[in-house]
Chain A
């Protein structure tokens, strides 16, 4: 048992301010970067199309961030989401060509994601392997499968319903991708904060043995979270396939970094037990805004990746300092 050190009230007050400031990093960062791009790029950044694009470009990241919040809350990590995007998208596109029914294709894609999650979850729980190693392996395995099944060919998606629902549609004047982001964010927040499942995920991530003796089915919770993560990655894959009217094995390859950065900047601890769904969603918009702004500023893809990497380093150091201070 650890006993909290007795501290002078002033010291504790300072710590509280530092701690809560850290929780708001993403919101402050968002506003600062927004103002910076608005000031330096003027109307080429500050217009309706650009702002809508920032949200719609972020959609797959936002949706994967929702799943990743649960994974990190457990104190685990899922590195396989990027390659699951491609495999699910290819599966859906190929199924669409065979079946012709958009919903069968979508279900097939989601099932692939859930299956990858199930495999990850089983290795982590039954075999008691670290999720870092398990998902590192499945990341490669799934990427290989995605290249194998279609022989590196891309698969076009011509189905109108699929393309509308998972890509270019609008509903009540709002792009369908924004609806997907909003629905994923609201459901993710609801499950994390208002459902038993969310409370159990956080408890397992903070103190698994306490959760176990409290009657929480720890193994079931862990497997469910990996399946959720795989499924959100698959949904992201479907949304790429819908928006780009086709699937290739390269989809999602750079998304893992963006998703982790979004979630960690958003205030979810890598070490488990502490999560912010709203922070993760704002984090994904933040990453998208940076991508877009850097693109407008004329940076190359390589330069953009460097900036993203720097942001992740800053986010991770903040996250780990938070753990030590508490």
Chain B
């Protein structure tokens, strides 16, 4: 049973057809890239899988089981983690609070926040993933863009039990920071997670993905093994122009 299987997913916003009959399987330990032009429906698809939007039609199965999430926290509770394009992080809080946002650790018997333990686990996680930050107690807003994205991915890594979705995780990053984030994605894959990553960057798709699926104005144009396609072929699938 694959961690994620989508069949016939459609989404209409009023009269706008954002997604039309989308099918995809993502295996454990596999990275699938989702590519397409601006407005093709990539973010919408991520939001459907993560429970932010409900599909107008179609089926979502996690490990074979049909699911219908009410909201994002419902999806999270079912082991789906998302790294959002507009980082879902809280700048004024420490790094460790961001890692545990909505799932804070508490100490018995009075249920007080266990800040020390959250900071300890965060430090261990960032050390394991080789993410360099001054300290887990630093305010998130004091970190660089790459560090913040790394924290968002570390959070997903920490909590994901089967599936991680990423919406343009390196869109705002420099070369070195992008390399770091790609390394984290490959670590996630090595841990056996299923990863669906939205990307604008063809070189990146060839570096990290096993397969790639193409959306054009809400329609799924095709799905290819990365080893069996080329940059030119993908570009013509995205644009609809033959090369």
Query: Does any Cβ of B come within 8 Å of A211's Cβ?
Result: yes
Tell me the residues in window 52-109 of chain B with beta carbons closer than 8 Å to chain A beta carbons: 52, 71-73, 76-77, 82, 84-93, 97, 101-104, 106
Q: CA–CA, A116 to B88, complex, Å?
A: 32
Are A207 and B72 touching (Cβ within 8 A)? no
- Residues of chain A in range 1-50 having any CB-CB distance to chain B below 8 Å: 1-4, 6
Total B residues in contact with A, Cβ cutoff 8 Å = 37
Q: B241 near A: Cβ within 8 Å?
A: no
Nearest chain A CB to B51 CB, angstrom units: 9
Alpha-carbon separation in the docked complex, A115 to B144 (Å)? 44
Q: Would you list 23 pairs from A and B whose C-beta atoms are within 8 A, ordered by A residue?
A: A1-B149, A1-B172, A3-B145, A4-B142, A4-B144, A193-B113, A195-B113, A196-B104, A199-B97, A203-B93, A203-B97, A206-B90, A206-B91, A206-B92, A207-B89, A209-B86, A209-B88, A210-B87, A213-B52, A213-B72, A213-B73, A215-B103, A273-B93
Are A215's CB and B76's CB within 8 A? Answer: yes
A6 to chain B, nearest CB (A): 8
B90:A211 contact, CB within 8 angstroms: yes
A1-B145 CB under 8 A given contacts A210-B101, A211-B90: yes
CA distance A216 to B72 in the complex (A): 10
A3 to B: closest C-beta gap in Å: 3
Give Cα A274–Cα B94 distance, bound, in whole angstroms: 12
CB–CB B145/A203 < 8 A: no
Q: Which of B50, B76, B90, B148 contacts A1 (CB 8 A)?
A: B148
B222 within 8 A of partner (CB)? no
Sort A-B residue pairs by CB-CB distance and give the 10 closest, nearest first.
A215-B73, A3-B145, A214-B102, A215-B102, A210-B88, A214-B101, A273-B92, A213-B72, A1-B172, A194-B112
Which one, A196, A273, A326, contacts B113 given CB within 8 A? A196
Closest B residue to A5 by CB, please name it. B144
B24 at the interface (CB under 8 A from A): no
Asked if A220 is at the interface (CB within 8 A of a chain B CB), the reply is: no
Chain A interface residues (CB < 8 Å from chain B) = 1-4, 6, 193-196, 199-200, 202-203, 206-207, 209-216, 273-274, 326
CA distance A2 to B173 in the complex (A): 10
> Given A1-B149, A200-B102, A202-B92, list of 15 further CB < 8 A pairs?
A1-B85, A1-B171, A3-B146, A4-B142, A4-B145, A196-B104, A206-B90, A207-B88, A207-B91, A210-B90, A213-B73, A213-B82, A214-B103, A273-B90, A273-B92
Residues of chain B lying within 8 A (CB to CB) of residue A200: 102
Separation in Å of the A273 CB from the closest CB of chain B? 4
Question: Does B39 count as interface, using CB distance less than 8 angstroms?
Answer: no
Separation of A203 and B106 alpha carbons in the complex (Å): 17
Residues of A contacting B76 in the complex (Cβ-Cβ under 8 angstroms): 214-215
Question: Most chain-A Cβ atoms within 10 A of its Cβ — which of B97, B102, B112, B142?
Answer: B102
A211 to chain B, nearest CB (A): 7
Residues of chain B having any CB pair with chain A under 8 Å: 50, 52, 71-73, 76-77, 82, 84-93, 97, 101-104, 106, 111-113, 141-146, 148-149, 171-172
A211 near B112: Cβ-Cβ < 8 Å: no
What is the bound-complex CA distance between A207 and B148, given in angstroms? 15
User: Which chain A residue lies CB-closest to B148?
Assistant: A1
Question: How far is the CB of B75 from the nearest CB of chain A, in Å?
Answer: 9
* CB atoms of B102 and A211 under 8 A apart: yes
In the bound complex, what is the Cα–Cα distance between A294 and B89 (angstroms)?
A: 46
Chain B residue numbers with a CB within 8 Å of A213 are 50, 52, 72-73, 82, 84, 88
Q: Nearest A residue to B91 by beta-carbon distance?
A: A206
Report which of A6, A195, A203, A212 forms a contact with B72, defined as CB distance below 8 A.
Answer: A212
Q: Which residues from B are CB-within-8-Å of A207?
A: 88-91
A42 to B171, CA, bound (A): 65
| Contacting pair A203 B144 (CB below 8 A) | no
Q: A206 contacts which chain B residues (CB < 8 A)?
A: 90-93
Q: A58 to chain B: closest CB distance in Å?
A: 28
Chain B residues, CB < 8 A from A212: 71-72
Whether the Cβ atoms of A214 and B88 lie closer than 8 Å is yes
In the assembled complex, the Cα of A212 lies from the Cα of B144 at a distance in Å of: 24
Tell me how far the C-beta of A41 lies from the nearest C-beta in chain B, rounded to whole angstroms. Answer: 40
Give the distance in Å from the alpha carbon of A210 to the alpha carbon of B73 in the complex: 11
Bound-state Cα–Cα, A212 to B74, Å: 11
CB contacts (< 8 Å) of B84 on chain A: these are: 213
Interface centre among B92, B142, B143, B145 (most CB of A within 10 A): B92
A203 to B113, CA, bound (A): 15
Q: How far is the CA of A211 from the CA of B76 in the complex (A)?
A: 13
- If A195-B113, A213-B72, A214-B102 touch, does A2 touch B97 (CB 8 Å cutoff)? no
Residues of A within 8 A of B102 (CB): 200, 211, 214-216
Residues of chain A with a CB closer than 8 A to B86's CB: 1, 209
- Residues of chain B lying within 8 A (CB to CB) of residue A211: 90, 101-102
